[in-house]
């Protein structure tokens, strides 16, 4: 038994997340966590909402709520949706927690003591009417290059030219439209990543088994131009972790907060502390996951994220941990994902384009989404969601291959033997062959799951389901029943045991259906099939079961057409 720490990238607080967000981090992380637990490992699976930053303040302003209230409410909503999707976090924390405030200030203090913090005075655009400094992209104006009148201060979307806010003609606040802007001097703290470049670079170089997507992004940032740049870690905002040097005030930084990307990864640690607080545990209980000097030496730490998060997890957060000089557990493996696209374009939270977690659960059970998203996870490149593909895959894989298998064997048994595992008969060569085939497939499934090869794992699992149908077809208990009822009884007994086996193997992908299958089989035995032959004897003759309701109703053409129509425009 090993100890596995798993974190999913933190979903940002401003609104319901779409399916692309889900498949890029939380869902594959959950798959891995569930698998490792099923194999008997000790797992700490952590996620949290990322609550600080300008977009949260603006989203709250839009609803008229105080930002703390807004975040609390949205955390509740995201938390409920996470449960709805079966995301099995050990704790779903909040980056606005006290634990994170203290820890973030602690890291800043340690970094300052070690000489990795620089104070930099810089000029930024201030909007007098909004009463706030504006990030570059919150300034709009006319592009000096192409004349586009909605160019942002960081880049013109029309001609893709990179800009400075001061380049814009007739600049205005993207928040209020106010043109009452001025450039003001402000002081900020910078994390001196450049001073840690060699250590980070050596660390990245040691990770030879990471996805190319992960390391190539990291190397680009490390080596591009003048190499890894220092990064501002404070902002002139009200909502965030107040800048303090450990537990001491930071002269000259009053009223400022840490940058959201500084405190967000620290929340992985803080959320584990929140877990301890919420479960009556001690500090030692969470520190044994994170401190190498307090028990975390044998922890394997895996992070899941979309590709946009990679720079922060390969560079900034490691810089924070290394620079602290303290023995924190560093990540062992970063699994990164490309994007899911929606009918040819991007999913977009800000534009409300695509299918969102709340709507998805309104129209179909979580397992439909989990199965499709995981079996089409954007691992090697972006992958596309289309309703047609979704309908086809789900109907074929879940309803026809798995659901129908459960249905045919339970109903046949009920009509010939009653709702009890039948007695009699013994294995022949066909059964030996099945067990051998299952064993081969299951070992392959374990290997791809261990390697976090999500799509391949789904394909292996599906192939395991198919073996059941192949067996039933060739064993044909409906025929043998007429001539050799004992033999038919053995075949059906094996089939019923396959249902339990499939429930166990499938639970990481489709936990709700797996539970329904176990319940129908009248068992709580969810032991992993290390020995397939033994696993297929778990339900003995005489064991009572029930015929379950249809596990997966098919998606009809009418439903598909309706949803295609409903979700083709913009949310709300």
CB nearer to RNA: pick between 105 and 391: 391
CB atoms within 10 A of CB 146: 13
> In this structure, are residues 539 and 497 in contact, taking their beta carbons and an 8 Å threshold?
yes
Q: Is 374 exposed, middle or buried (0-12, 13-18, 19+ CB in 10 A)?
A: buried
Position among 221, 304, 356, 545 found at the interface with RNA (CB under 7 A): 221
Q: Kindly write out the interface string for residues 34-53 of this chain, putting x where it contacts RNA by CB under 7 A and - elsewhere.
A: ----------------x-xx
Residue 485 touches RNA, criterion: CB under 7 A: no
Residue 399 touches RNA, criterion: CB under 7 A: yes
Residue 228 touches RNA, criterion: CB under 7 A: yes
Position among 37, 554, 560, 571 found at the interface with RNA (CB under 7 A): 554
CB nearer to RNA: pick between 183 and 537: 183
Position among 217, 276, 334, 364 found at the interface with RNA (CB under 7 A): 217
Point out which span in 24-32, 131-139, 272-280, 531-539 binds RNA (CB under 7 A): 131-139
Distance CA 480, CA 174 (A): 75
Residue 280 touches RNA, criterion: CB under 7 A: no
> In this structure, are residues 182 and 125 in contact, taking their beta carbons and an 8 Å threshold?
yes
CB nearer to RNA: pick between 54 and 105: 54
* 71 annotated to a ligand binding site: no
CB nearer to RNA: pick between 54 and 100: 54
> In this structure, are residues 496 and 521 in contact, taking their beta carbons and an 8 Å threshold?
yes
Residue 18 touches RNA, criterion: CB under 7 A: no
* 47 annotated to a ligand binding site: no
Q: To the nearest whole angstrom, how small is the minimum distance from the Cβ of residue 543 to RNA?
A: 19
Alpha-carbon distances of 433 from 166, 442, 471, 502, rounded to whole Å: 73, 14, 10, 18
Task: Please name which of 292, 334, 328, 299 lies closest in space to residue 313, comparing C-alpha atoms.
Answer: 334
Position among 553, 559, 560, 564 found at the interface with RNA (CB under 7 A): 553
- 134-153: contacts with RNA (CB under 7 A): 135-138, 153
158 token code pair: 């029309």
Task: Please name which of 446, 469, 467, 468 lies closest in space to residue 457, comparing C-alpha atoms.
Answer: 446
* 413 annotated to a ligand binding site: no
**Sheet order of strands, 299-306 included:** 91-94, 42-49, 3-8, 299-306, 333-337
* 159 annotated to a ligand binding site: yes
CB nearer to RNA: pick between 40 and 345: 345
Q: To the nearest whole angstrom, how small is the minimum distance from the Cβ of residue 430 to RNA?
A: 13
* 156 annotated to a ligand binding site: yes
Point out which span in 79-87, 242-250, 303-311, 361-369 binds RNA (CB under 7 A): 303-311
Point out which span in 68-76, 171-179, 227-235, 519-527 binds RNA (CB under 7 A): 227-235
Q: To the nearest whole angstrom, how small is the minimum distance from the Cβ of residue 362 to RNA?
A: 21
What per-residue string of b and e applies to 251-262 under the rule 16 or more CB within 10 Å gives b? Answer: eebeebbbbbbb
Residue 183 touches RNA, criterion: CB under 7 A: no
Position among 116, 412, 545, 563 found at the interface with RNA (CB under 7 A): 412
CA-based torsion, 17, 18, 24, 26: positive or negative: positive
Residue 551 touches RNA, criterion: CB under 7 A: yes
Task: Please name which of 367, 373, 508 lies closest in space to residue 85, comparing C-alpha atoms.
Answer: 367
CB atoms within 10 A of CB 122: 11
Point out which span in 27-35, 276-284, 471-479, 520-528 binds RNA (CB under 7 A): 471-479
- 351-390: contacts with RNA (CB under 7 A): 376, 378-384, 389
Residue 212 touches RNA, criterion: CB under 7 A: yes
Residue 243 touches RNA, criterion: CB under 7 A: no
CB nearer to RNA: pick between 286 and 471: 471
Q: To the nearest whole angstrom, how small is the minimum distance from the Cβ of residue 458 to RNA?
A: 10
Distance CA 204, CA 309 (A): 16
Task: Please name which of 504, 545, 502 lies closest in space to residue 522, comparing C-alpha atoms.
Answer: 545
Q: Kindly write out the interface string for residues 50-69 of this chain, putting x where it contacts RNA by CB under 7 A and - elsewhere.
A: x-xxxx--------------
CA 141 from centroid of its chain's CA atoms: 36
Phi, psi of 269 (to 5 degrees): -70, -50
CA 524 from centroid of its chain's CA atoms: 28
Residue 450 touches RNA, criterion: CB under 7 A: no
Phi, psi of 482 (to 5 degrees): -75, -30
> In this structure, are residues 335 and 300 in contact, taking their beta carbons and an 8 Å threshold?
no
Phi, psi of 328 (to 5 degrees): -80, 150
Position among 63, 166, 216, 351 found at the interface with RNA (CB under 7 A): 216
396 token code pair: 């074929």
Beta partners for 127? 132, 181
Residue 88 touches RNA, criterion: CB under 7 A: no
Position among 73, 359, 408, 571 found at the interface with RNA (CB under 7 A): 408
Binding positions: 143, 146, 156, 159, 349
Binding positions for ATP: 349
């Amino acid at each position: 038994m090993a100890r596995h720490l798993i974190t999913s990238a933190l979903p940002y607080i401003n609104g319901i997340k779409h399916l692309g967000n889900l498949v890029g981090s939380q869902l594959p992380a959950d798959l891995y966590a569930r698998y490792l637990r099923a194999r008997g490992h000790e797992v700490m699976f952590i996620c949290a909402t990322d609550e600080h930053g300008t977009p949260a303040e603006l989203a709250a302003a839009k609803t008229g709520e105080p930002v703390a209230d807004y975040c609390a409410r949205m955390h509740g909503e995201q938390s409920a949706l996470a449960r709805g999707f079966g995301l099995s976090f050990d704790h779903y924390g909040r980056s606005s927690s006290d634990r994170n405030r203290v820890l973030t200030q602690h890291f800043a203090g340690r970094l300052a003591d070690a000489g990795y913090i620089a104070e930099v005075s810089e000029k930024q655009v201030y909007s007098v009417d909004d009463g706030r400094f504006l990030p570059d992209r919150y300034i709009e104006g006319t592009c000096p290059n192409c004349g586009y009148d909605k160019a942002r201060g960081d880049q013109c979307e029309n001609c893709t030219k990179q800009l400075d806010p001061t380049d814009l003609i007739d600049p205005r606040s993207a928040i209020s439209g106010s043109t009452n802007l001025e450039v003001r001097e402000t002081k900020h703290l910078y994390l001196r990543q450049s001073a840690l470049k060699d250590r980070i670079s050596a660390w990245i170089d040691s990770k030879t088994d990471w996805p190319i997507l992960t390391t190539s992004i990291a190397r680009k940032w490390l080596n591009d131009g003048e190499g890894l740049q220092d990064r501002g870690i404070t902002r002139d905002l009200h909502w965030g972790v107040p800048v303090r040097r450990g537990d001491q005030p930071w002269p000259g930084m009053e009223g400022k907060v840490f940058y959201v990307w500084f405190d967000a990864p620290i929340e992985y640690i803080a959320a584990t502390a929140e877990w301890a607080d919420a479960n009556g545990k001690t500090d030692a209980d969470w520190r044994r996951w994170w401190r190498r000097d307090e028990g975390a030496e044998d922890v394997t730490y895996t992070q899941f994220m979309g590709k946009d998060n990679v720079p922060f997890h390969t560079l900034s957060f490691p810089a924070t941990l290394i620079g602290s000089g303290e023995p924190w557990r560093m990540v062992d493996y970063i699994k990164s994902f490309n994007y899911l696209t929606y009918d040819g374009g991007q999913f977009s939270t800000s534009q409300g384009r695509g299918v969102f977690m709340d709507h998805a659960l309104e129209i179909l059970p979580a397992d439909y989404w989990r199965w499709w998203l995981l079996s089409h996870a954007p691992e090697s490149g972006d992958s596309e969601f289309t309703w047609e593909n979704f309908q086809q895959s789900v109907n074929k894989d879940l309803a026809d291959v798995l659901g129908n298998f459960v249905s045919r064997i339970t109903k046949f048994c009920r009509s010939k033997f009653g709702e009890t595992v039948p007695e009699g008969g013994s294995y022949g060569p066909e059964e030996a062959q099945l067990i051998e085939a299952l064993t081969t497939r299951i070992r392959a499934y374990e290997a791809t799951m261990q390697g976090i090869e999500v799509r391949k794992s789904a394909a292996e699992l599906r192939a395991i389901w198919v073996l059941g149908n192949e067996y039933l077809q060739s064993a044909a208990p409906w025929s043998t029943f007429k001539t050799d009822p004992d033999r038919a009884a053995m075949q059906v007994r094996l089939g019923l045991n396959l249902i339990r086996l499939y429930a166990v193997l499938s639970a990481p992908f489709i936990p709700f259906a797996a539970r329904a299958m176990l319940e129908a089989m009248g068992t709580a035995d969810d032991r992993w099939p290390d020995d397939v032959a033994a696993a297929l004897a778990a339900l003995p003759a005489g064991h009572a079961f029930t015929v379950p309701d249809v596990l997966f109703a098919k998606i009809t053409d009418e439903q598909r057409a309706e949803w295609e129509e409903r979700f083709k425009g913009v949310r709300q």
